[in-house]
Amino acid sequence: MLLADASVRSLGPADLSACLDLGTDRGWPREERKWAMLLDVGRGFGIDAPDGGLAAAAVLTRTGPAASVSMVVVAERFARQGLGRRVMARALEDAGDAVVSLHTTENARPLYESMGFESDGGCNDHRGRFADDGGPGARPIGPADVARVYELDSAAQGFARRELLNRMLFEAEHVHVTDDGYALGTSQAGVTVIGPVVAADEDQARALIRGVARAATGDLRLAVDHRFPELSAWCEARGLAVHGPAPRLVLHGKALPGPAEVRFSPYNTALG
């Protein structure tokens, strides 16, 4: 079934069910909260399937001078027709002059590189049950800490993203802080995803991870930036096994804003 002439349209919250079904078609977990948030705070683009539902989708989330592309997926029965490239091209057009980044798999990497994306490191995807080492943990956030979290996030990103951070804090079940860092724990499909982890150093990053891990129940997921191999090794030793790398690419190799040395983990690989 060919879709050579099918148009790309905007997606919104009303398309949540179709997006979930599209992801399921490719074996993705049905992360309803994740899709719902992205379709709300970002701009989705899709191609309708003639037999119902969506044939392809992508989401662009822009905050200030930066933007991320995520959830790029094409239904198996419409693979190898260039649909992924078409929804990507529409997202990049919408991004304007923003610095655009994404996390990818090695299989999808050639497509993005052919569109001008260049390597900028990436993350290790850690998953499992946390084996506590008894070290110091960060404290749960209190009213006096809220302003500091906004300050730390703005400094780490290189710009203020108050509206998006408000949504991230609202979605989170757990927020832990140190004097110079913060971390969130958000439930996604029955797993607590830890991120972002913003900290002055690795000791504080470990304390933040411990704090959220102790407050959460069940399995954890955490993407640790490749800049911090010792933290990644510590997570693996604590029972959070590496389930594969997530390379990060940036369009035309532009520099992402903000000091990378304090960004230990993204919110998730969809939002950065």
pLDDT digit string, tens, across residues 187-230: 988 899 999 999 999 999 999 999 999 999 899 999 999 999 99
Query: Within this chain, do residues 131 and 239 fall inside the same structural domain, yes or no?
Result: yes
Residue 67 phi/psi, 5° resolution? -145, 150
Query: Within this chain, do residues 151 and 261 fall inside the same structural domain, yes or no?
Result: yes
Residue 49 belongs to some domain of the structure? yes
Query: At residue 85, does pLDDT exceed 90?
Result: yes
pLDDT in tens, 139-178: 999 999 999 999 999 999 999 999 999 999 999 999 999 9
Residue 161 belongs to some domain of the structure? yes
CATH number (domain holding residue 172): 3.40.630.90
Query: Within this chain, do residues 64 and 183 fall inside the same structural domain, yes or no?
Result: no
Nearest alpha-carbon partner for 215 in 227, 207, 223 = 207
pLDDT in the model for residue 3? 78
Residue 150 belongs to some domain of the structure? yes
Residue 170 belongs to some domain of the structure? yes
Query: At residue 65, does pLDDT exceed 70?
Result: yes
pLDDT in the model for residue 77? 93
When divided into structural domains, the chain yields a total of 2
Query: Within this chain, do residues 69 and 143 fall inside the same structural domain, yes or no?
Result: no
Contact call for residues 179 and 203 (beta carbons, < 8 A)? no
pLDDT in the model for residue 2? 65
pLDDT in the model for residue 63? 94
pLDDT in the model for residue 272? 76
Residue 102 belongs to some domain of the structure? no
Query: Within this chain, do residues 71 and 195 fall inside the same structural domain, yes or no?
Result: no
CATH number (domain holding residue 91): 3.40.630.30
pLDDT in the model for residue 6? 83
Query: Within this chain, do residues 161 and 241 fall inside the same structural domain, yes or no?
Result: yes
Query: Within this chain, do residues 36 and 139 fall inside the same structural domain, yes or no?
Result: no
pLDDT in the model for residue 110? 95
Residue 110 belongs to some domain of the structure? no
Query: pLDDT above 70 covers what percent of the chain?
Result: 99
Range of the domain at 48: 9-97
pLDDT in the model for residue 191? 94
99 DSSP β-pair partners: 66
pLDDT in the model for residue 270? 85
pLDDT in tens, 96-138: 999 999 999 998 999 999 999 999 999 999 999 999 999 999 9
Contact call for residues 44 and 19 (beta carbons, < 8 A)? yes
Q: Are strands 9-11 and 43-48 parallel, antiparallel or unpaired?
A: antiparallel
Q: What is the mean pLDDT of the chain?
A: 95
Tokens of 67: 């933007």
Kindly calculate the radius of gyration of the chain based on its CA atoms and give it in whole angstroms.
Answer: 18
Residue 217, CA atoms < 13 Å, CB-side half-sphere:
0
Query: At residue 1, does pLDDT exceed 90?
Result: no
pLDDT in the model for residue 104? 94
